[in-house]
Amino acid sequence: MGLIKKMAGLMGVSLMGMLYFTPSLAETPLIEVKAENTLQEMLNYLKDQSSLKFQADVAQDLVFSNGQKIQLGAIVNLKVRRPDKLNIDYQGDRNHVRFYFDGKTFTMEGLTNNVYANFLEPSEVDNINALVRRIGERLNITLPLGEIIATDNDLESIKNRITSGVYVGESRVNGVISHHLAFTQDNLDWQIWIEKGEKPLPRKLVITYKQDPSSPQYSAILSNWNFDPISEEDPIFSSQPADDADKIDFLIIQP
pLDDT digits (tens, 9 = 90+) for 153-199: 788 888 888 999 999 999 999 999 999 999 999 999 999 999 999 99
Contact present, 105 and 122 (Cβ < 8 Å): no
Instruction: Answer yes or no: is 201 within a domain.
Output: yes
Instruction: Answer yes or no: is 254 within a domain.
Output: no
d(CA 225, CA 201): 8
pLDDT of residue 254: 78
d(CA 215, CA 238): 38
d(CA 186, CA 142): 19
pLDDT of residue 125: 80
Q: Which domain holds residue 222?
A: 2-247
Count Cβ atoms within 10 A of the Cβ of residue 242 and give its class: 0-12 exposed, 13-18 middle, 19 or more buried.
Answer: exposed
pLDDT of residue 172: 98
Instruction: Answer yes or no: is 130 within a domain.
Output: yes
Q: How many domains does the chain have?
A: 1
Instruction: Answer yes or no: is 253 within a domain.
Output: no
Instruction: Answer yes or no: is 252 within a domain.
Output: no
pLDDT of residue 6: 40
Instruction: Answer yes or no: is 153 within a domain.
Output: yes
Residue 45 sits in a domain whose CATH number is 2.50.20.10
pLDDT of residue 8: 44
Q: Taking the CA of residue 149 as centre, how many other CA atoms within 13 Å lie in the half-sphere pointing to its CB?
A: 33
Residues (pLDDT < 70) of the chain are: 1-29, 122
pLDDT of residue 122: 66
Instruction: Answer yes or no: is 164 within a domain.
Output: yes
Instruction: Answer yes or no: is 126 within a domain.
Output: yes
| Helical H segments across 89-218, by residue range | 128-139, 146-149, 155-159
Count Cβ atoms within 10 A of the Cβ of residue 67 and give its class: 0-12 exposed, 13-18 middle, 19 or more buried.
Answer: exposed
pLDDT of residue 243: 93
**Cα dihedral angle (43, 133, 139, 184), rounded to 10 degrees?**
50
Would you tell me how many other CB atoms lie within 10 Å of the CB of residue 146?
26
